[in-house]
Amino acid sequence: GAAAGDPSPPPHSEVPPPALPLPPAAPAAALPPAVSPAVPPAASAVKKSASSKVVGKLRDNELEGLNLLVVEDNHFQLRIVRATLQNSGLTLDVALHGQEAVDAVKKRIEGGQKLYDLILMDSMMPVMDGATATREIRAIEAAHREGMSAEERAERCPMTMIIIGLSAEAGPDYVAESKEVGMDGTMGKPCRPEQMREMLKEVHAGKWKRGSFNSSSKKANLHY
């Protein structure tokens, strides 16, 4: 009896063990549904962010012919500026402080080049601050124009170089100082890409007038 019972129980006793691992296989099969629902939201988020970046984006070469000098010592802000202006067609120069900005303007004059159409001037920087740099640039510009004929002034040094101050604290005192030193407007920091694009379009179209804080600069100043 023992010899006959020994062969038969093992096959029966070995069959259930393979069946026992099967239940864990069911939860394993349930894992893909738990992971797959997380994929569509991520994909849709990418689509949304991609579409949001396209809205208000500058068209290729939309600002062609515009000469811009950005005076800013914050490298993060400079990355935003470069990304915002990518493929816009403008010529971009960068100065890390006020003295570099003054030197950049002098270099253009010495090279017989047209002055910048727009300078975005940070307020607080090492070496030379934005207000001092603006005073010096306006003095250099005036001296440069004095020795020119009317035709030369119109061609190489028209009274259209706009200087816009950038400040994280663009309050009434800053606005008053900006006007006094010869700026044409102020914008708060950090500069929002969509606001910068609109401002550049206005400068490119000649809507920013030299010597006065137009409505766009007031809106920019009040916005921050």
Give the whole-angstrom CA distance, residue 131 versus residue 83: 27
Residues 157-213: tens digit of each pLDDT: 666 789 999 888 767 888 889 889 999 888 888 778 888 888 888 888 888 777 666
Q: Is 53 helix (H, G, I), strand (E, B) or coil?
A: helix
More confident residue, 23 or 150: 150
Which of 136, 172, 142 is closest to 157 using CA atoms? 142
Farthest CA pair distance, the chain: 127
How far is the CA of 29 from the CAs of 24, 25, 33, 49, in angstroms?
9, 6, 8, 33
Share of the chain above pLDDT 90, in %: 27
**DSSP code for 43:** H
User: Whose CA is closest to 95, among 115, 122, 76?
Assistant: 122
Q: What is the DSSP string of 110-162?
A: HTTPPPPSEEEEESS-SSS-HHHHHHHHHHHHHHHHHTS-HHHHHHH--TT-E
Query: pTM higher than 0.85, yes or no?
Result: no
Whole-angstrom distance, CA of residue 60 vs CA of residue 179: 34
Tell me the residue length of the chain: 224
**131 — pLDDT class (breaks 50, 70, 90):** very high
pLDDT score, position 157: 65
Lowest mean pLDDT among 17-21, 23-27, 34-38: 34-38
